[in-house]
Amino acid sequence: MNSNFSIRDEIREYWSSRAATFDEQVGHEIFSEAERQAWQGLFMRHLGPGDGRKALDLASGTGVISLLLHGLGFDVTGLDWAEPMLARARAKAASRGAQIQFMMGDAEQTLEKPESYDVIVTRHLVWTLVDPKAAFREWHSVLRPGGKVLIVDGDFVSHTIVKRIIQLIEKMTRRSTAATHIPDVMRGVHERILRQVYFSQGAKADEVAKLLGEAGFSNIVIDRNLSRIHREQAKNLPLLKALDRQTQHRYAIVATKPV
């Protein structure tokens, strides 16, 4: 591999190559109205209605979260560094008549003006941040005083008892149980990335919350109750994968930039 090829390049390429099938997977795209309502319930609980407030969806991927926020009345900008993801997000928003701006950028260094957003939302980015301390300082700067960041993430590294059982079944039957949606050919890359990111042992909610506090955020609330979302997702998942998801350390964290 070229020595100028950094961990950030590798993460960007990894997601670029997953873009084509990203929306086929439960947990990425939304597959029922009940799941959509469960997600909107989570955002309403922590952010309230959009009322035209400016929201930045960091690592917007194919635009799933951007579209949810748009549906709640936020004025949404999505930012991602993988062009194939952005292309899908733009096409999806256009086909649904949603006015959302999607732009190329690094979530750790957004280049957005200080105090230019009311809300930052990000799903499944933090676990793969190379420098979360710098990222959280950046997010703090981009938010206006009183603005909120909402992180939805999890520890996808530590093995739950269910995961261990799945692995045992796979070993015994020499068959995949479809418990992961990482394509076989990409598992090596995924593991290599994981070894190099900050949360290589898994992004635990308490640790993320502590770093948010160090970056200047206050009123930090960890919400571990994502069961309504997981229940709806489970209806479209194989049993073992649904069980794995329900027992993983997944959470939302909301934090406020002090006035």
Ligand X SMILES: C[S@@+](CC[C@H](N)C(=O)[O-])C[C@H]1O[C@@H](n2cnc3c(N)ncnc32)[C@H](O)[C@@H]1O
Task: Tell me which of 30, 65, 162, 254 binds ligand X, using CB under 6 A.
Answer: 65
Nearer to ligand X, 84 or 165 (CB): 84
Among 42, 59, 69, 193, the residue binding ligand X under the rule CB under 6 A is 59
- d(C-alpha 142, C-alpha 200), whole Å: 27
Pick the piece of the chain touching ligand X (CB under 6 A) from 101-109, 155-163, 165-173, 209-217.
101-109
253 binds ligand X (CB under 6 A): no
- Of the candidates 50, 194, 216, 74, the one whose C-alpha atom is nearest the C-alpha of residue 136 is 216
How big is the CA angle at 231 (ends 228 and 237), to the nearest 5 degrees? 145
* Residue least distant from ligand X (Cβ): 61
Q: Does 121 bind ligand X (CB under 6 A)?
A: no
Is 153 a residue that touches ligand X (CB under 6 A)? no
Compute the distance between CA of residue 30 and CA of residue 232 in angstroms, rounded to an integer. 10
Q: Are strands 101-104 and 117-123 parallel, antiparallel or unpaired?
A: unpaired
Contact 74, 68 (CB under 8 A): no
- Going residue by residue from 18 to 57, which x/- string records binding to ligand X, judged by CB under 6 A? ----------x-----------------------------
Cβ 80 vs Cβ 59: under 8 Å? yes
Q: How far is the CB of 205 from ligand X (least distance, A)?
A: 17
Q: Based on the shown chain and the rule CB under 6 A, indicate whether residue 144 belongs to the binding site for ligand X.
A: no
Q: Which residue number, 60 or 233, has a Cβ lying nearer to ligand X?
A: 60
Check binding of 136 to ligand X (CB under 6 A).
Answer: no
Tally of CB atoms within 10 A around 227: 12
Burial 188-216 (b: 16+ CB within 10 A, else e): ebbeebbeebbbeebbbbebbbebbeebe
Q: Does 209 bind ligand X (CB under 6 A)?
A: no
Q: Is 117 in the site for ligand X (CB under 6 A)?
A: no
Residue with Cβ nearer ligand X (79 or 234): 79
Number of H helices, E strands in the chain: 10, 7
* Least distance to ligand X, CB of residue 241, Å: 16
SS3 of residue 103 by DSSP: strand
> Judged by CB under 6 A, which of 75, 80, 118, 155 binds ligand X?
80
Which residues share a beta bridge with 151? 122, 253
- In the list 30, 38, 43, 61, the residue contacting ligand X (rule: CB under 6 A) is 61
Residue 191 makes CB contacts below 8 A (sequence gap 6+) with: none
Note whether 138 binds ligand X by CB under 6 A: no
Nearer to ligand X, 10 or 170 (CB): 10
Instruction: By CB under 6 A, name the binding residues for ligand X.
Output: 11, 15, 28, 59-61, 64-65, 80-82, 85, 106-108, 123-125, 128
